Amino acid sequence: MNLSVLTPRNIEAMIFQQLNQPPDQTYVDALCGPIKTTNQESESYFDVGSVPAMSELKGGRPTNNVRPIGPWVVTNRLFGVAMRVHKNELDLDKTGQVQQRIDDLTGRFNQHWDDLAIRRIKGGTTTACYDGQFYHSTTHQEGDSPTQSNSITSASGATPSTPTATAYQDAIFKAITQMNVVVDDTGYPAYRSQKDFVLVVPPSHLKSVAGALNTTAIPGGAGESNVLVSYGKYTFQVVDHPLLATTVGGAAWTDKFAIFAKDGRALMRQHQKGWEKYIQTKDVKSDLHYDTFMLEYGLSSMRELTYGDWKGSVLVTFT
């Protein structure tokens, strides 16, 4: 929204409009599903266990009851962002700097689910999920399942921080295979039919990922066919998120990536009713403006994003 004259009132209108035009975050939707709305600070969620596989009827129909899995206790946290601008800066903003800061303000808010998702993914090896194990762990167990892993290693073909395209292809196949063999609480494969995936990779791995997914011959692979492409069964959405290259939310990723089933169950998110998009202003009638000639615009939300079903994700660390 480009306004030729910035005033306190039309700044509020601009913020409101931009909040209703969030950026494309389809991968967050694919991992979390719809946002749950709560009318209290905390909610406890239970998943319904799996239905047993078909079996031959001998002496009557089996009557296994589905077992509750969980609970997930999700407690909302209060998040916020704000900016201040001097009335004189507002009146004399001929280069659009104030308007750019307003764009930044709403951008920070609109990107927040995205930021929370990446922080959770980075914390998967140090933060417990509903079964008491780290989200990415080698010791998961629930119901009738054996001890299982959704954290594996794969050869880099070079160094762990510079895996080759061939190594990435092998690692992706290995991760999908691992997801396929993980069983649910009845001992039956949980994700045997999954075809659509999200790959969360550090930016430094993007070239190798592109070679593994988008070329008919593996780059640097002596002309070998790219079976991941020719196989044609799977689809991948690649997220090369810049936060993975930083220490925000945990150590930077240099030697690993994560794959997720694109079914909206790997993570979960909620926000509190009435706090979805809370706009606060200190305008020309405020004490702040009276004392300092400053105006303040703030955005807040009570929300949380946390771990869902670990079986829909595999962390791969290159060796």
- Residue 211 in this model has a pLDDT that exceeds 60: yes
pTM of the predicted structure, to 2 decimals: 0.86
Q: Calculate ∠ Cα 119-125-131, nearest 5°.
A: 105
Which tens digits make up the pLDDT trace of 147-170? 999 999 999 999 999 999 999 999
Least confidently predicted of 40-54, 100-114, 220-234, 241-255: 220-234
CATH fold, domain 8-50+69-318, is phage-related protein like fold (3.90.1690)
Q: What is the mean pLDDT of the chain?
A: 87
Higher-confidence position of 262 and 45: 262
Query: Which helix (DSSP H) or strand (DSSP E) does residue 213 occupy?
Result: helix 206-213
Rg from Cα positions in the chain: 24
Residue 246: φ, ψ to 5°: -115, 175
Question: Measuring CA to CA, how many Å separate 172 from each of 118, 121, 154, 177?
Answer: 20, 17, 9, 9
Classify residue 165 by its DSSP letter: H
Which tens digits make up the pLDDT trace of 61-92? 666 666 667 677 899 999 999 999 888 887 77
Classify residue 66 by its DSSP letter: P
Which tens digits make up the pLDDT trace of 87-118? 888 777 766 788 888 889 999 999 999 999 99
Which tens digits make up the pLDDT trace of 283-295? 888 999 889 999 9
Question: What DSSP assignment string belongs to 71-87?
Answer: EEEEE-EEEEEEEEEEH
Which tens digits make up the pLDDT trace of 244-265? 999 999 999 999 999 999 999 9
Residue 215: φ, ψ to 5°: -130, 150
